[in-house]
Amino acid sequence: MAGEGSSESSHAVLARLLDRAEDGPFRIARLLDSAAFSVAAFERKDGDLRVIYVNDAASVQAAVRGADARGRPMTEVFPNVDPSIVERLLATPGDQATPINLRGRLPSGAAWSIDAVRLGLDQIVVFADELGEAATSRQHLDELLRDARDSARRLQLTLDLAMAFASSQSAREVVQLLLNHTLDAVEADRATLSSLEAHELVIEATYARSGELKWVGMRYPLDYIEGQPLVKEALAKRKPVVGGRLEVERAAPEFRDALSMMAQTANLPLMVKGEAAGLLVVSREGDVPFTAGEIGILELMGNAAMLALRNARLFEDLQLASAAKTQFLNMAAHELRTPVTVISGYTSMLQTTGLDDRDGTDKALAVIEQKASELAKLVDALLVAARVQSGSIGVDHQVFDIAECASQAVARARPFADLAGGTLTVMLPPHPVDAVGNPEHTGRILDNLINNAIAYSSRPARVEVHVATSDRFVEVEVHDAGRGIPSSHHAAVFEEFVRVDDGANTLAPGAGLGLYIGRRLAESMGGQLTLVSSSPGQGSVFRLRLDRPPENLSS
C-alpha cells in the first residue's frame, strides 16, 4: 500500500538520523523527559505533510524497527500545507546539518519553524533534520525549552481567556479581556481591536501597556485601510501580516503619536465563520519582530474574542429587544384596557340597574360610543406599530402627488380644527408634486402631524401645512403656534407610547404612538420625519421629507 511505503521511508529517515547521531536522539529523549518534545521525520503524502514523531527512547526504537512496541510512533497528517514549504522541507537533506530558517503555519493553527514545530501548544516536534544540531547544542536545547515553557504559559493564558469568553455576555468585557491578555501573552506595548462592518471599520478600543484601556468607538470608511499596506495585505490574504510600524501619516490623527513610538506590528484579521470580522493590531516599541509562535497565540485569542464579541453583541441586542417588547406589551395592554374598562363599566351599570334618568343613560351611551371609537383607532394604531416594529410594512414605493395627499389630509382634519376654533391653512405649489413612497402611509403621517398640531396648539389653534421641493427631496412641513416641546423631549417624542404631557393637555387623546409610527413609516419609504424646531411657547415645526422621483432630477 502507498501508506506503508510512505511510512517506511519516514522510518528510513529516522534510522539514518539515528545512525548518524549515535545516541543523539536517545539523549534528547532523556533530556526532554517532559515529553514536551519529540523527534520526528516528515514526508510529503499527496498534498499533505505527514509527520511521524516519537516521544521517548522506546518509541524511537520502535520507530526505527517500525514495530508495534509500547511507544508506538505516532503519525499525524497536516493537510493542505503550502506546497512550497513542503518542497523546501524535503529539499533539505536529512543528513545535513545546514541551518535553515523556515517559518510558517500549519493548517491546525500551530506555528512551525525549522527549529521546532509546535503541534497544538503543549507539544513541540523537533524536526529530524535539526536533530544532529539539537543534540550537540546545549544552547539550542535551552532555547527550545524556553520556547516550550512560553508555549505552556500561552496555552494557559488562552485557556483562561477562552473560559472567560465563554462566560461573558458583555461585549465590553470581551474586548477588555482580549486586549489585556494580548499584551501579557506576547509582551507587546499596544493592542487595538477593530470590528469590520459592511462599509466601515469600527475601532473599538485600544490598550497601551503604559496606560489604560481607551474606548474609541470611531468609524472609518473601509478605504481608510488603503493607507495601511500591512493591514490591507492582512485583510486581503486573510492571514496575519507581520511588519514594521504602520504608516503614521496615514493613520487617524488620534493614533499618530502612539503609532510613531512603535517599531514592530502584527496585523491579524480575525475570522468568524470564514469571514474577516475584525482586526487586531499588536505593536511593540522594541525592534523585536513577532515570531510565528506569538502570531499563533494572537490568532487563537483574537479569533475566539471576535466570536465571543459577536455573540455578546447578539445577546445584548436580544436583551434590549426583549425589554422593548415587554414594555410595548405592557403599554399596549394598559392603553387597550382603559377604553374597555369604560365600555364594560358603563355597560354593566346600564344592565344591572339601569341609570336613574334618561339624561344619565344618554351620557353613558355617548361615552361608550366615544370609547369604542377610540378603541378601534387604538387597535389600528397598535397593529400598524406592531407591523412597523417587526419590519413587515411593505415597501411598495410608487410615485404619487404629495400635494394632493397633503390637501386631502388637511380636508380630513378640518372638522377637528373647526371644533378647536382654530385656523388650518395649507400652502401648495400650483402643480402636482411627485414624491416616491406610499400615499396611504404619507396620509397617515400627515393626519397625525396635523391632528397633533391642532391638539397641542395654544388657543386658538393656528396650523399651517407647507409643501415644498428641493433638488432631490419633497418636504411637507406642519407648523403650529402651539405650546412647543422642551428640547429635552425632542428625541423622546418619536419613541413609542411617549406623550409630552404638561398637564394642560385635554384635547389630545391617543397612546403616544403617532410620531413613533410616523417616523418608522417615513423610514420605510426611504424618507425622514423630523422635528425641525420647537421650544415652549414658540410652537413646533415637524417635517416629512421624501425623495423625488429620479427623472425629476434633470427637470
Partner 1 sequence: MSAVYDGWVSRTRSIDPVLAQRAWLKASHAGTVLVVDDDAIVAEMYRLALTRSGYSVLVAKDGPAGLEVAAVSKPALIFLDIRMPQMDGIEVLQRLVGEDSTRQIPVVMLSNSDDSNYVKRCLGLGAKEYVIKVNIRPADLATIASRWINPAS
DSSP run (H or E) holding 325: helix 292-352
Apex 199 CA angle, 528 and 399, nearest 5: 35
For residue 268, which of 243, 305, 231, 297 has the smallest C-alpha distance?
Answer: 231
Q: Give the residue with the Cβ less far from partner 1, 98 or 488.
A: 488
First to last CA, the chain: 79
Q: Is 40 exposed, middle or buried (0-12, 13-18, 19+ CB in 10 A)?
A: buried
429: preceding bond cis by omega (within 30 degrees): no
- Residue 344, interface with partner 1 (CB under 8 A)? yes
Half-sphere exposure of 455 (CA within 13 A, CB side): 19
The one-letter code for the residue type at 132 is: G
- Residue 340, interface with partner 1 (CB under 8 A)? yes
- Residue 334, interface with partner 1 (CB under 8 A)? yes
Q: How far is the CB of 382 from partner 1 (least distance, A)?
A: 15
Q: Where are the alpha helices (DSSP H) in 121-279?
A: 128-136, 138-167, 171-186, 229-237, 253-260
Q: How far is the CB of 370 from partner 1 (least distance, A)?
A: 8
Q: How far is the CB of 536 from partner 1 (least distance, A)?
A: 16
For residue 518, which of 425, 451, 467 has the smallest C-alpha distance?
Answer: 451
Q: Give the residue with the Cβ less far from partner 1, 506 or 554.
A: 506
CB neighbours of residue 255 within 10 Å:
18
DSSP run (H or E) holding 27: helix 24-31
For residue 268, which of 279, 257, 284 has the smallest C-alpha distance?
Answer: 279
Report how far apart, in Å, the C-alpha atoms of 451 and of each of 125, 135, 444, 507, 508 are.
79, 91, 11, 10, 9
Q: Which stretch binds partner 1 (CB under 8 A): 136-144, 348-356, 426-434, 538-546?
A: 348-356
Rg (CA), the chain: 37
CB neighbours of residue 291 within 10 Å:
17
- Residue 53, interface with partner 1 (CB under 8 A)? no
Q: Give the residue with the Cβ less far from partner 1, 341 or 398.
A: 341
Q: How far is the CB of 319 from partner 1 (least distance, A)?
A: 17
- Residue 63, interface with partner 1 (CB under 8 A)? no
Q: Give the residue with the Cβ less far from partner 1, 353 or 470.
A: 353
Q: Which stretch binds partner 1 (CB under 8 A): 120-128, 248-256, 340-348, 515-523?
A: 340-348
Q: Which of 98, 210, 353, 392 binds partner 1 (CB under 8 A)?
A: 353
- Residue 371, interface with partner 1 (CB under 8 A)? yes
Q: How far is the CB of 355 from partner 1 (least distance, A)?
A: 8
Q: Which of 9, 80, 260, 330 binds partner 1 (CB under 8 A)?
A: 330
- Residue 352, interface with partner 1 (CB under 8 A)? yes
- Residue 323, interface with partner 1 (CB under 8 A)? no
Q: Is 39 helix (H, G, I), strand (E, B) or coil?
A: strand
Q: How far is the CB of 338 from partner 1 (least distance, A)?
A: 5
Q: How far is the CB of 356 from partner 1 (least distance, A)?
A: 8
Q: Which stretch binds partner 1 (CB under 8 A): 287-295, 341-349, 417-425, 538-546?
A: 341-349
Apex 146 CA angle, 141 and 150, nearest 5: 145
- Residue 359, interface with partner 1 (CB under 8 A)? no
- Residue 319, interface with partner 1 (CB under 8 A)? no
Could you give the string, one character per residue 496-535, with x where binding to partner 1 holds by CB under 8 A and - elsewhere?
A: -----x-x--------------------------------
Could you give the string, one character per residue 261-300, with x where binding to partner 1 holds by CB under 8 A and - elsewhere?
A: ----------------------------------------
- Residue 345, interface with partner 1 (CB under 8 A)? yes
- Residue 342, interface with partner 1 (CB under 8 A)? yes
DSSP run (H or E) holding 468: strand 462-469
Cell numbers placing 380: 389600528
DSSP at 461 = P
The DSSP annotation for 65-126 comes to HT---TTPPEEEEETT--HHHHHHHHHS-TT-------EEE-TTS-EEESS-EESSSS-EEE
Cell numbers placing 335: 392603553
How many residues at the interface with partner 1, by CB under 8 A? 20
CB neighbours of residue 208 within 10 Å:
18
Q: Which of 159, 222, 333, 491 binds partner 1 (CB under 8 A)?
A: 333
Q: Which stretch binds partner 1 (CB under 8 A): 139-147, 316-324, 330-338, 401-409?
A: 330-338
β-sheet bridge partners, residue 468: 475
**Contact (Cβ atoms closer than 8 angstroms) between residue 433 and residue 467:** yes
Could you give the string, one character per residue 455-494, with x where binding to partner 1 holds by CB under 8 A and - elsewhere?
A: ----------------------------------------
Q: Which of 85, 155, 252, 349 binds partner 1 (CB under 8 A)?
A: 349
Residues that bind partner 1 (CB under 8 A): 330, 333-334, 337-338, 340-342, 344-346, 348-349, 352-353, 360, 367, 371, 501, 503
